Amino acid sequence: MFDFTPDPEAPKSDLYRDLLTAADAITTGESDAVANMANVAALLGEFLHDCNWTGFYRLVNDELVLGPFAGRPACIRIPLGVGVCGAAAKSGETQLVEDVHAFPGHIACDARSRSEVVVPILRDGAVIGVIDCDSPELARFDADDQAGLEALAALLADRL
């Protein structure tokens, strides 16, 4: 099975290149969406330092429903437009939140979370779910994380 030891000193571009390579290798040829999300959620938890939650919400009947993740148990259903995840799913745009306490409507599934990035997964222009990463550090995520996670979402769109 896939084995990886992230280099904490590596530039983020290297980290996300390796993450995409790993995600591609682990999902290619596999049609089961749950298996693919589960493995990628675990990969994110391994690759991204200082994250307390990494995982997926799926858009089901116009609301977000919890998918596979690495971290503590989380909120199961999130209405479109509510919280960081709901904002990303409704707008189709990544939400990069330096301080979750300053985000109107933020949903505190895990009280340790201080910053968050949520990337929509688009298939044929429509949102099918989101990738959500939470960190206990303020401003943990930046434009490099956004670019890397958006590339991951694009890779996965046809494999979920």
Q: List, in sequence order, every residue forming a beta bridge with 119; answer none if it has no partner.
A: 131
Contact 97, 106 (CB under 8 A): yes
Site string for ligand SME, 79-98 (x = CB under 6 A): ----xxxx------------
Which of 15, 41, 51, 78 is in the footprint of ligand SME by CB under 6 A? 78
74 lies in the site for ligand SME, by CB under 6 A = yes
Q: Which stretch binds ligand SME (CB under 6 A): 4-12, 23-31, 106-114, 142-150?
A: 106-114
The token duo for 90 is: 């409704």
**What DSSP line would sit under 121-132, residue for residue?**
EEETTEEEEEEE
Q: Is 111 helix (H, G, I), strand (E, B) or coil?
A: coil
Residues 110-149 contacting ligand SME, CB under 6 A: 113, 116, 132, 134
Neighbours of 129 (CB within 10 A): 27
Which of 16, 51, 106, 153 is in the footprint of ligand SME by CB under 6 A? 106
Amino acid at 13: S
Q: Which stretch binds ligand SME (CB under 6 A): 2-10, 16-24, 74-82, 147-155?
A: 74-82
Q: State the chain's maximal CA–CA distance in angstroms.
A: 42
Chain residues binding ligand SME by CB under 6 A are 53, 74-75, 78, 83-86, 106-107, 109, 113, 116, 132, 134
